[in-house]
A and B are shown apart, each in its own frame.
Chain A
Amino acid sequence: DAGVTQSPTHLIKTRGQQVTLRCSPKSGHDTVSWYQQALGQGPQFIFQYYEEEERQRGNFPDRFSGHQFPNYSSELNVNALLLGDSALYLCASSSHTEAFFGQGTRLTVV
């Protein structure tokens, strides 16, 4: 089992562009959460998907949107990128008893 896989691992985008990040959860996990980790900070909760619906959302603007597919994989989309969106984006999948994290996608906005 590959655990949680994220793609791409690194990405450079220009201000104003749009980006899509992808996450495949650990086998058997149906809940996917996305987090943003700025340099030197702890991760901040963006949103969580369960059964293809956004179940919870953190304090992030509508520029951040997501999707979950029937196979439980998920995408995070960010529109109108700002320099401040540069961060490590982490995906976590969970069941009732465990949580696993991906290696993250490091997004740099220039």
Chain B
Amino acid sequence: KNEVEQSPQNLTAQEGEFITINCSYSVGISALHWLQQHPGGGIVSLFMLSSGKKKHGRLIATINIQEKHSSLHITASHPRDSAVYICAVKSSGDKLTFGTGTRLAVRP
């Protein structure tokens, strides 16, 4: 079993829909990252969380430390949101352990 599990693996949505991507982890962490990766490879850090909730534009990230679970929400989704979204946890030292990602396609 992977230390970081994401669901769903693939997600297709219509423009304007509310989207939720989930991340569960099994190790103790000091922080959790939500990352966005577009075709071509470059990764952009969206959020780094250690507790509670963060919001940036149409993106909201929450984390429940007790339940070892985090969610990434996208409100009013747009085709430009199409990407792979990756959850990564910071555990021992500064090492990041990544989930396998959620591939999101938003159709116009």
Q: A residues near B, CB below 8 A?
A: 31, 33, 35, 37, 41-45, 48, 50, 55-56, 58, 88, 90, 92, 94, 97-104, 106
Chain B residue contacts of A100, Cβ below 8 A: 45
Q: Closest A residue to B42 by CB, please name it.
A: A103
Interchain residue pairs with CB less than 8 A apart (30): A33-B95, A42-B4, A42-B99, A42-B100, A43-B88, A43-B96, A44-B98, A45-B96, A45-B97, A48-B93, A48-B94, A50-B94, A55-B94, A56-B95, A90-B41, A90-B43, A92-B96, A94-B94, A98-B45, A98-B48, A99-B45, A99-B48, A99-B96, A100-B45, A101-B43, A101-B44, A101-B45, A103-B40, A103-B41, A104-B43
Q: Which residues of B contact A42 (CB under 8 A)?
A: 4, 86, 88, 98-101
Return the CB mask of B73-93 against A: 1 if under 8 Å, else 0.
000000000000010100011
What is the minimal beta-carbon distance from B86 to any residue of chain A, in angstroms? 6
Most chain B CB within 10 A, of A55, A92, A94, A99, is at A99
From the candidates A48, A97, A101, name the one contacting B95 in the complex (CB within 8 A).
A48
User: Inter-chain contact count A-B, CB under 8 Å?
Assistant: 63
Whole-angstrom CA separation of A104 from B82 in the bound complex: 20
Q: Summarize B's interface: helix, strand, loop or mixed.
A: strand
Taking chain A's interface residues, is the majority helix, strand, or loop, or is none over half, making it mixed? strand
Question: Is B35 engaged at the interface, CB distance under 8 Å to the other chain?
Answer: yes
CA–CA, A103 and B43, complex, Å: 7
CA distance A44 to B48 in the complex (A): 19
For B98, the closest partner residue in chain A by CB is A42
Are A41 and B100 touching (Cβ within 8 A)?
yes
- A37 CB to closest chain B CB (Å) equals 7
Bound Cα distance from A33 to B45, whole angstroms: 15
- Contact of A55 with B48 at beta-carbon distance under 8 Å, contacts A99-B33, A101-B43, A104-B41 already known: no
Contact residues in B for A92 (Cβ distance below 8 Å): 43, 96
